[in-house]
């Protein structure tokens, strides 16, 4: 059984890579303004959108104008969605009569979906109406498009030798929605529909359980929601248990489709970068570093979850199927372990098993995946985060060889380094400060955990890590629907989303305007294995220095306590 599951995992990973390469080439053509598949079909639709909104999609923007446009539309979406959530109880499309959200929960939910995190402190069956679900689904499209459009600004900055004109944000944004997210979502949603994921506006249905009891089962327009939640690396569940729910993820085939979908665009964007700036070797270096990091986390998790729990083994329980607590039999322990790292590395945050039930070191790897937040990463923002580590590695390498640091023909100077360090440090600052405050005020933070020991600390650490990484998954032993958690994580969600976007775009915009320096004999190469190892070393050193003490207090201590 385990060997069959491992074969399925290998198939999923290789299929994703094979699909990502042509998709990356297609995306590069779309953003470069070249003729590509579906361009003729979607171009008239895009013209109508721009005509209605009065946007001149041909107007060039500098990096500051890009960020102004990004922040403006996100603020509008936040206010609109928060208002609807607080009023959903008496709005239409609410057949199950779900009540209005409290202001603090609406605040958290609106921010969470706007920033592509989907950190849900509610259960979809009872917490939101169908109208709210569809509005949240809209945010899953546009938040993913915002991240990808931001990455394209970075691409544009290094395509030209010297420029302050970085394309048009709205043009990148709309093309992402129409030519990338929408067609793939339609295909994926249709496949999920055939696998048994519901797509209806009817309310709860009745069924007779195996015990003979008549129970009500929540339904809704789930197939469309589940498709974009994975493709856009959003991750929010239509139902409370997310993709562990049999109506979100009914079969092993649906599990494979959702797994491939969530990894597809983050991988494709790496190749799109190489095609767009015509430096494919650099793209393969980036992809190799990301893949090595991903596999270094995923393989141990697959093995640990397949091996079973030592605590349960002491009870004499057969664990040939692996550690099955918190997992679905139709999916299996190995595939659940693989998903747990894919969803945290990529910042999707969807789950097909309960991470709270994972082995302690599996939980540590899930935390590390979010703490590093640069191995593939979310739609667009993964490339932006990785770019920060490239800048740090270039600067350190330049100091080591006594040369002015350069990347793609542009000098990396003090201003860029200050921004890069701010972005690199804000992530651990948000995580560790939030966790420290929750532990320091136990009536607000620690009192809501399901475990008073090491695992309880891991629950606190995981929640703030998930919020800062815009991930959205959680150790669900935590009672997180309180004013403390809703407001504190909401604030972290904002900083954790927009600073890691604004910072890299600012660096790219500044560097784009500098004089281009042709490569010479003494130029530091950034597209080979040596530089790739340097980038990996920078990532690991920053992660170790920032997070190892906190990890020893949580998952590492828990591991030794059950040995």
> Residue 313's pLDDT is what?
85
Which range is least confidently modeled, 103-107, 283-287, 445-449? Answer: 445-449
The tokens for 558 are: 């828990």
Element (H, E) at 95: none
Residue that is written with structure tokens 């990463």 in the block: 377
Range 263-292 average pLDDT: 96
Query: What is the percentage of the chain residues whose pLDDT exceeds 70?
Result: 99
Residues listed for the chain: 563
Q: Is the predicted pLDDT of residue 123 greater than 60, yes or no?
A: yes
Report the percent of the chain where pLDDT is more than 90. Answer: 82
Q: How far apart are CA 191 and CA 199, in angstroms?
A: 12
Give the Cα separation of 430 and 489 in Å (integer).
Answer: 10
The pLDDT of 415-423, averaged and rounded, is 95
Angle made by CA atoms 19, 22, 23, in degrees to the nearest 5: 75
pLDDT digits (tens, 9 = 90+) for 5-22: 899 999 999 999 999 999
Buried b (16+ CB within 10 A) or exposed e, 492-511: bbbbbbbbbbbbbbbbbbbb
Band (402; pLDDT cuts 50, 70, 90): confident
Which distant-in-sequence residues (6+ apart) come within 8 Å of 296 by Cβ?
A: none
Give the model's pLDDT for residue 281: 96
What pLDDT is recorded for position 8?
92
**Helices assigned H by DSSP within 115-217:** 124-127, 130-159, 169-175, 182-195
A 10 A CB-CB count for 541 gives 12
Contacts of 41 (CB under 8 A, 6+ apart): none
SS (H, E, C) 399-424: HHHCCCCEECCEECCHHHHHHHHHHH
Query: Mean per-residue pLDDT for 431-447?
Result: 90
Q: Which residues of 71-107 are buried (b: 16+ CB within 10 A; e: fewer)?
A: eebbeebbeebbebbbebeeeeebebebebbeebbbb
pLDDT 10s digits, 330-342: 999 999 999 999 9
* Each residue's pLDDT tens digit, 142-179: 999 999 999 999 999 999 888 899 999 999 999 999 99
Q: Sorting pLDDT into bands at 50, 70 and 90, what band is 2?
A: low
Q: Are 206 and 215 in contact, with CB atoms under 8 Å apart?
A: yes
How many other CB atoms sit within 10 Å of the CB of residue 240? 16
Structure tokens at 160: 């030209």
Largest pairwise CA distance in the chain: 78
pLDDT of residue 405: 87
- Give CA–CA dist 478/466, Å, rounded: 13
φ and ψ at 370, to 5 degrees? -80, -35
* pLDDT digits 0-9 by tens, 57-67: 999 999 999 99
pLDDT at 65: 96
pLDDT of residue 235: 94
Mean pLDDT of the chain: 93
pTM of the prediction?
0.95
Q: What is the pLDDT of residue 519?
A: 77
């Amino acid at each position: 059984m385990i060997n069959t599951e491992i074969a399925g995992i290998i198939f999923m990973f290789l299929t994703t890579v094979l699909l990502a390469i042509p998709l990356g080439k297609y995306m590069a053509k779309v953003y470069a303004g070249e003729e590509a598949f579906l361009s003729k079909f979607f171009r008239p639709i895009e013209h109508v959108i721009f005509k209605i909104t009065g946007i001149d999609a041909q107007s060039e923007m500098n990096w500051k104008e890009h960020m102004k446009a990004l922040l403006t539309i996100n603020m509008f979406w936040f206010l609109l969605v928060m208002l609807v959530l607080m009023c959903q109880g008496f709005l239409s499309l609410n057949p199950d009569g779900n009540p209005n959200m409290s202001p603090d929960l609406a605040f958290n939910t609106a921010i969470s979906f706007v920033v592509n995190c989907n950190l849900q402190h509610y259960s979809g069956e009872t917490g939101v109406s169908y109208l709210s679900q569809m509005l949240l689904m809209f945010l899953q499209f546009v938040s993913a498009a915002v991240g990808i459009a931001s990455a394209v600004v970075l691409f544009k900055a290094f395509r030209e030798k010297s420029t302050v004109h970085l394309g048009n944000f709205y043009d990148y944004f709309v093309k992402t929605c129409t030519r990338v997210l929408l067609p793939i979502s339609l295909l994926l949603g249709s496949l999920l529909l055939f696998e048994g994921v519901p797509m209806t506006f009817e309310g709860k249905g009745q069924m007779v359980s195996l015990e003979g009891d008549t129970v009500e089962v929540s339904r809704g327009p789930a197939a469309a929601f589940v498709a974009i939640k994975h493709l856009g690396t959003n991750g929010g569940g239509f139902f409370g248990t997310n993709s562990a729910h049999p109506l979100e993820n009914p079969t092993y085939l649906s599990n494979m489709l959702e797994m491939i979908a969530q990894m597809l665009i983050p991988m494709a964007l790496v190749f799109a970068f190489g095609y767009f700036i015509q430096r494919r070797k650099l793209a393969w270096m980036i992809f190799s570093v990301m893949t090595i990091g991903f596999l270094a986390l995923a393989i141990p998790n697959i093995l640990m979850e397949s091996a079973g729990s030592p605590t349960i083994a002491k009870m004499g329980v057969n664990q040939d199927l692996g550690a099955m607590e918190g997992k679905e039999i139709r999916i299996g322990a190995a595939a659940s372990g693989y998903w747990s790292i894919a969803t945290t590395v990529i910042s999707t945050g969807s789950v097909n098993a309960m991470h709270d039930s994972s082995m302690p070191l599996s939980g540590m790897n899930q935390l590390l995946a979010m703490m590093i937040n640069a191995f593939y990463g979310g739609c667009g923002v993964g490339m932006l985060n990785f770019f920060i580590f490239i800048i740090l590695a270039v600067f350190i390498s330049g100091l080591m060889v006594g040369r002015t640091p350069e990347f793609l023909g542009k000098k990396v100077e003090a201003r860029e380094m200050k921004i890069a360090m701010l972005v690199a440090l804000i992530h651990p600052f948000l995580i560790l400060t939030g966790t420290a405050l929750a532990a320091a005020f136990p009536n607000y933070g620690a009192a809501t955990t399901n475990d008073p020991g090491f695992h309880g600390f891991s629950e606190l650490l995981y929640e703030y890590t998930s919020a800062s990484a815009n991930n959205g998954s959680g150790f669900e032993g935590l009672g997180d629907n309180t004013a403390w958690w809703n407001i504190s994580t909401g604030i972290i969600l904002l900083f954790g989303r927009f600073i890691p976007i604004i910072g890299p775009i600012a660096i790219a915009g500044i560097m784009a305007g500098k004089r281009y320096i042709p490569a010479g004999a003494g130029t530091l190469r950034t597209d080979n294995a040596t530089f790739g190892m340097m980038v990996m070393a920078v990532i690991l050193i920053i992660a170790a220095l920032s997070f190892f003490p906190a990890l020893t207090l949580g998952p590492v201590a828990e591991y030794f306590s059950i040995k």
